[in-house]
């Protein structure tokens, strides 16, 4: 089902979605765009390349409260936090970011014990994927083509959106998406010419160039296993790293978290919060032993996790080539170059 | 799993606290479930662990020290940490009295591979504090319903001095039994000590357990492991027949939080028990 709306009427579409539930959409902030819970439909701004932070927080918020309690009160008076999620519309996620949700699903839902928070948030969400603008070049740090992800790849979205001049085309990908499109009366029917444009756009997206190298998951996994003991290599690629962890926070596939207790004036919350393997105390044990005291060990862990351990454990590379880690790294560490170097080493 | 939501602990009461060592920094806590359903759901095997939970302080992953053959409670032997890093939860736990209520989440992790151990001779080697889940296994194997399932049981357990030996009453019981060979050693005895003196690796060499149809389970401080392993290799034990239990910093305990990985394995959900053969496949990152 193909529908369309004039981009000048985006705020009306936003208002219609807000009537149905929670809308998370790109908003222009001081230093760039980010996904924000929309309070005013006029905030939604589709004039962006990609957001600073990935949209993973839609399903894996920075803070996820587990339990509320009062300090000093009996343990059985503590209460489990219920999510009670409204329908959530993630509007305008780029194809590489949408791909990350599937990778995270393997970890949080399909393997071992199910993470109830990720699962519930995923189930409550309708994803409006949004093709990159093929008229504009990719940003230099992006490399999703390397990972087989197209700039207009609808896979993983419920509804996929393509810009056509002053219009936005919305095509349903899943039954969930089709249901929503049917319900949104503000949308117009797409014409045959729109359908043709949409189909060609998707096809053209496959040719869209980002940085690209031939990367076979088995080969890079093996290469990194062989390189593990090569301290010179890891010292060289990590020498500038200041362990700030920004790469992990903006990353759509980094999922490390801490579970902590936060108490204030007798009110307590046990929650999970994002954490990062780049931090010095991430693996510091109570005994004082820390297997990763050196920065090279931590960067090695991060690269290996994405390109080796994840492949061994789940069969897929845990990176979508969005390039955020490189773009926002304060010391210009480039994961693409590290992988390229590793393949050549 | 104890709860539909794996992050939510269930309540238990501390019914007994035993001071294990002279330094008074290791205590065994006996916990009784407040709800029968929670107790029924907490089905564990020796070698597993659980997250002990104190609201306002946090959670700590601790090996289960009791044996599943002991009914009605579960025990944990906990060292008060804090010399290097805060040790918030263990300190808070040590400050509690009998009757206090805390939370528990588990059982977690794999276990000593009971089926693999059946019909084999078992050599248990422990050093210092790292004896808790081994104690669980020994008591499990010694139970009248289970003893026939295992071959000879040899225990070599050492501590720096007599005051630091855990489970002293049980050690004395084992020495009296004829279905377990128990060798207790201390690095240095005191005036009252009439037992053996000597480091664990040297004692292992002297006892020289036969590798024939045998499995060695070795837990202890890194330096003990370092010098004990060559002894067992020399005796002819293969890497597949030497097992240990790893420690890494943990949070979730269910393979989700990404903290305790060694290579592609999570110690909390793929371990904590690994054979040396399995560890050889993993990068040295622990």
Q: Each residue of B120-138: pLDDT tens digit? A: 999 999 999 999 999 999 9
- Same-domain status, B155 and B237: yes
Q: How far is B97 from chain A (nearest CA, A)?
A: 14
Per-chain mean pLDDT for chain A: 96
| Cα distance between residue A81 and residue A96, in whole Å | 32
Residue B226 lies in a domain: yes
Residue B196 lies in a domain: yes
Task: List the domain range (segments joined by +) for residue B120.
Answer: 114-245
Per DSSP bridges, beta strands A188-189 and A2-6 are: antiparallel
Give residue B185's Cα distance to chain centre.
18
Domain end (from B50, B79, B108): B108
Taking contacts as CB-CB distances below 8 angstroms, the residues of chain A near B258 are 255-257, 275, 277, 305
Residue of B nearest to A110 (CA): B256
Mean predicted confidence (pLDDT) in A290-317: 96
Question: Do the Cβ atoms of B12 and B27 come closer than 8 Å?
Answer: no
pLDDT digit string, tens, across residues B42-79: 999 999 999 999 999 999 999 999 999 999 999 999 99
Quick one: pLDDT band at residue B1, thresholds 50, 70, 90? very low
Closest CB to B263 among A111, A285, A309: A309
- Same-domain status, B101 and B118: no
Residue B286 lies in a domain: no
Question: Do the Cβ atoms of B20 and B43 come closer than 8 Å?
Answer: no
This model of the complex carries an ipTM of 0.92
- Asked if pLDDT for residue B2 goes beyond 60, the answer is no
Residues with Cβ within 8 Å of A194's Cβ and at least 6 positions away in sequence, in order, are A2, A4, A164, A167, A169
pLDDT of residue B107: 97
Among B128, B249, B269, B271, the strongest candidate for a mutation testing the A interface, having the largest count of A CBs within 10 A, is B249
Residue among A102, A294, A310 at smallest CA distance from A220: A310
Strand partners, A33: A28
Quick one: pLDDT band at residue A40, thresholds 50, 70, 90? very high
Domain end (from B85, B108, B131): B108
Taking contacts as CB-CB distances below 8 angstroms, the residues of chain A near B90 are 286
Record: contact A287-B84, CB cut-off 8 A: yes
Among A59, A74, A107, A113, the strongest candidate for a mutation testing the B interface, having the largest count of B CBs within 10 A, is A113
- Asked if pLDDT for residue A67 goes beyond 90, the answer is yes
| Cα distance between residue A58 and residue A120, in whole Å | 11
Per DSSP bridges, beta strands A32-37 and B49-54 are: unpaired
Residue B50 lies in a domain: yes
Residues with Cβ within 8 Å of B10's Cβ and at least 6 positions away in sequence, in order, are B2, B3, B33, B34, B35, B38, B42, B103, B104, B105
In the DSSP assignment, the letter for residue B26 is E
Question: Do the Cβ atoms of A72 and A56 come closer than 8 Å?
Answer: no
Q: How far is B204 from chain A (nearest CA, A)?
A: 26
Instruction: Give how many domains chain B has, as a whole number.
Output: 2
Tell me the CATH number at B14: 2.40.30.10
């Amino acid at each position: 089902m193909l529908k369309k709306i004039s981009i000048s009427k985006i705020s009306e579409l936003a208002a219609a979605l807000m009537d149905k539930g929670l809308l998370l959409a790109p908003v222009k902030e001081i230093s760039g765009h980010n996904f924000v819970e929309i309070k005013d439909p006029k905030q939604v701004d589709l004039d962006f390349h990609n957001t600073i932070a990935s949209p993973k927080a839609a399903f894996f918020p920075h803070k996820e409260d587990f339990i509320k309690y009062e300090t000093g009160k009996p343990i059985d008076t503590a209460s489990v936090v219920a999510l009670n999620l409204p329908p959530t519309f993630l509007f305008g996620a780029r194809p590489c970011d949408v791909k990350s949700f599937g990778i995270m699903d393997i970890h949080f839902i399909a393997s071992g014990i199910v993470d109830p928070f990720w699962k519930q948030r995923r189930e409550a969400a309708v994803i409006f994927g949004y093709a990159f603008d093929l008229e504009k070049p990719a940003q230099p740090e992006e490399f999703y083509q390397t990972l087989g992800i197209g700039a207009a790849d609808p896979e993983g979205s419920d509804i996929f959106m393509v810009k056509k001049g002053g219009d936005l085309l919305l095509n349903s990908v899943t039954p969930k998406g089709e249901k929503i499109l049917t319900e949104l009366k503000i949308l117009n029917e797409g014409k045959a010419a729109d359908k043709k444009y949409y189909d060609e756009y998707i096809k053209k997206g496959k040719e869209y160039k980002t940085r690209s190298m031939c990367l076979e998951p088995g080969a890079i996994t093996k290469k990194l296993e062989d390189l593990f003991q090569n301290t010179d290599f890891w010292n060289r690629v990590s020498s500038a790293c200041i362990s700030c962890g920004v790469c992990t926070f903006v990353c759509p596939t980094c999922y490390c978290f801490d579970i902590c207790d936060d108490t204030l004036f007798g009110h307590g919350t046990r929650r999970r919060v994002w954490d990062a393997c780049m931090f010095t105390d991430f693996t510091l044990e109570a005994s004082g032993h820390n297997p990763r005291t050196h920065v090279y060990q931590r960067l090695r862990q991060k690269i290996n996790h994405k390109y080796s351990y994840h492949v061994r454990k789940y069969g897929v590379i845990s990176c979508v080539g969005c390039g955020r880690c490189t773009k926002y790294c304060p010391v210009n560490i480039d994961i693409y170059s590290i992988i390229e170097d590793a393949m050549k080493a | 799993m104890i709860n539909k939501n794996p992050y939510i602990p269930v309540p238990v009461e501390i019914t007994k606290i035993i001071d294990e060592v002279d330094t008074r920094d290791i205590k065994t806590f006996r916990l009784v479930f407040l709800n029968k359903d929670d107790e029924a759901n907490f089905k564990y095997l020796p070698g597993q662990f659980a997250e002990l939970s104190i609201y306002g302080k946090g959670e700590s992953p601790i090996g289960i020290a009791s044996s599943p053959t002991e009914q009605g409670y579960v025990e944990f032997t906990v060292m008060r940490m804090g010399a290097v890093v805060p040790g918030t939860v263990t300190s808070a736990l040590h400050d509690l009295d009998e009757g206090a209520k805390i939370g528990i989440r588990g059982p977690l992790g794999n276990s000593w591979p009971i089926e693999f151990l059946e019909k084999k001779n078992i050599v248990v080697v422990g050093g210092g504090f790292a004896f808790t889940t081994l104690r669980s296994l020994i008591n499990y194997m010694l139970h009248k319903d289970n003893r026939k399932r295992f071959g000879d049981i040899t225990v070599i357990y050492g501590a720096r001095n007599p005051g630091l030996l855990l489970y002293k009453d049980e050690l004395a019981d084992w020495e009296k039994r004829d279905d377990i060979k128990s060798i207790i050693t201390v690095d240095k005895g005191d005036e009252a000590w009439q037992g053996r003196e000597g480091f664990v690796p040297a004692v292992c060499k002297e006892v020289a357990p036969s590798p024939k149809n045998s499995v060695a389970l070795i837990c202890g401080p890194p330096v003990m492991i370092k010098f004990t392993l060559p002894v067992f290799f020399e005796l002819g034990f293969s890497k597949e027949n030497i097992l240990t239990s790893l420690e890494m910093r943990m949070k979730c305990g269910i393979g989700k939080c990404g903290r305790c990985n060694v290579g592609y394995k999570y110690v909390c959900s793929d371990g904590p028990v690994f054979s040396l053969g399995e560890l050889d496949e993993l990068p040295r990152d622990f």
